[in-house]
Amino acid sequence: MENIAIELRRAWRDSAALTATSVLMLAALVASCAGIFLDPRVITGVLAWLKPAKFAISTAIFSGTIAWLYRYITIWPGFMRAVGWVLAAVLVLEVAIIDVQAARGTTSHFNAATPLDGALFAVMGAAIGFLWLGSVAVLIALFRQKFENPAWGWLLRLGMLTTVLGSAGGGLMLRMTPEQSAEMHATHTVHAVGGHTVGAPDGGPGIPGVGWSTQHGDLRVPHFFGLHGLQIIPLLGWLALRRRRDQAVGKQIGVAFAIAGSYLVLVAILTVQALRGQSVIEPDGTTLAVLALWLGATAVAIFLTWGIAAPNRARAAAR
């Protein structure tokens, strides 16, 4: 508990706005989990408060991670403090709208059924735009920042780059479906604009807990893995390099790029799979072949970046 308190105080010192947002989202998560058990209503095939719970935990992780990143960024202190406040404000606004719509018993994303629904979704869209620009600002700062450990610096940069790209990939969900386009042409009105599912309306059978479609493509899959590249890539890099600190700096940087490159390719494969209307749990032969190529290329990259160093260390020990 003492270590947690120390980390919280440090995060608060680095970015009070983002740290407070992370704590607030954890409280929102508790409230949403209570709603899952107390509110039996269903929205697009899942319990009404499941989506608010997912967004609360995702936002808590994201804002907490960015606050943690701030300890490595020493340039542009005033500007970065302002970026933290912007990120915190738009994150709280987005989750608040999701909660309001859940309480109303309707969807938050893609909803244009009423003027109020359309206005709330438009506000969310603007907030997401500011969130993306703020994330780009953090990415630029990381690229301008110097690190004592160059490999760790590249893991953070490439992880943030993956998150920025994964966030931008969410724009694919805003494309109108053929059914929505037909409705627009026929009635000059539309009740929804875009959707998660490719090849069917949102709300069909989904994987328990996350709701990803089990029968059709779902753009939430690559969006999820892209957004959380900021956490996954540095974690994988830390696990890979923690016992290779005696490795040459260039080799360590190579490991960082190999991990990030492999992860980005995986996100791309998941994106193409979703756009083809294919469920993540039912890959066809083409997807399996591409995944096999990806695994092979990853194995080669691991051998080139890790395997070459081992003989060098052995020869050094022998001398």
pLDDT value of residue 31: 97
Euclidean distance between CA atoms 284 and 150, whole angstroms: 40
Q: What is the overall mean pLDDT for the chain?
A: 90
pLDDT at 4: 77
Residue 25 has pLDDT above 80, yes or no: yes
pLDDT tens readout for residues 40-62: 999 988 899 999 999 999 999 99
- C-alpha 93/C-alpha 107 separation (Å) is 16
Name residue 47's beta-bridge partners. Answer: 42
63 inside domain: yes
**pLDDT tens profile 134-177:** 999 999 999 999 999 999 999 999 999 999 999 999 889 988 88
What was the pLDDT predicted at 308? 52
Asked whether residue 95 is domain-assigned, the answer is yes
**Is 300 within the bounds of a domain?**
no
**What gap in Å lies between CA 207 and CA 303, rounded to an integer?**
35
Q: Which domain holds residue 186?
A: 2-231
237 assigned to some structural domain: no
Domain membership flag for residue 161: yes
Q: What are the helix (H) ranges across the chain?
A: 2-14, 16-38, 50-69, 77-104, 115-144, 150-169, 178-187, 220-227, 229-241, 249-275, 285-302, 309-318
Residue 316 tokens read as 């050094």
With respect to residue 283, please indicate whether it lies within any of the assigned structural domains: no
Report the DSSP pairing between strands 42-43 and 217-218. unpaired
Q: How many domains does the chain have?
A: 1
